[in-house]
Amino acid sequence: MKIGIVDYGGGNLRSVVNAVRALGHDPLVVAAPDDAEGVTHLMLPGQGEFGDVMRCLDQRNLLGFLKNWILEDKPYFGICVGYQILFDASEEAPDVPGLSLIPGKVQRFAAEPELKIPHMGWNSARILKPLAPCWSGLGEQPYFYFIHSFFPCPTGTDWTVAETTYGEQTFACAVARSRVFACQFHPEKSQNAGLKLIENFLRSA
């Protein structure tokens, strides 16, 4: 097993590297397609604006590489914006298309009285598909760390494996299919629950 962590010039790269090392692996930083030689599992830590992330990936020739990787059913773990870019588009950057691997769009939280945006801090994930290998040992409603102002809205429920509620909005906080897993929260900042989730992905994928 060789884990590659995508470096697009931003994101929470160091924390994800440290999390993978805590699980006993020595990850490889992938800043260009040629860097992925020998990689078996790919993780994309997300932090930043949707459009900027897509442009940075494009500049490093990683967009087509990522899309082909996922279409070829190779193990992929997307975090935060690494989750959002799988969709068709985002309100954060309306003129920038996503990878269109999951039908749906990314929306901004609606303004509510006393609701702080971004959604920041610990919140629970309500598991919708408890038999999915990614949730092994995590219980029915594990807590993870969130920081985001936008959230994906998948078309249909085929991909969604967990939901979170913030204010009056309930959204898909995690999706999975075959060897793809992606989440809005940050497992690398979620202590034992986050490490367990990453470990489950590596084992099951």
Say which amino acid occupies 80.
C
Q: Which of 41, 148, 188, 199 is catalytic?
A: 188
Residue 3 contacts residue 20 (beta carbons within 8 Å): yes
Q: Are strands 119-124 and 143-148 parallel, antiparallel or unpaired?
A: antiparallel
Clarify whether 188 is annotated catalytic.
Answer: yes
Clarify whether 49 is annotated catalytic.
Answer: no
CA separation for the pair 163, 151 (Å, rounded): 11
Tokens for 120, please give them.
């920041």
Q: Which of 41, 80, 183, 199 is catalytic?
A: 80
Q: Which residues contact 178 (CB under 8 A, 6 or more apart)?
A: 73
Say which amino acid occupies 35.
D
Q: Which residues contact 198 (CB under 8 A, 6 or more apart)?
A: 19, 20, 23, 77, 187, 188
Structure letter (DSSP) for residue 111: P
Clarify whether 140 is annotated catalytic.
Answer: no
Q: Catalytic residue positions? A: 80, 186, 188
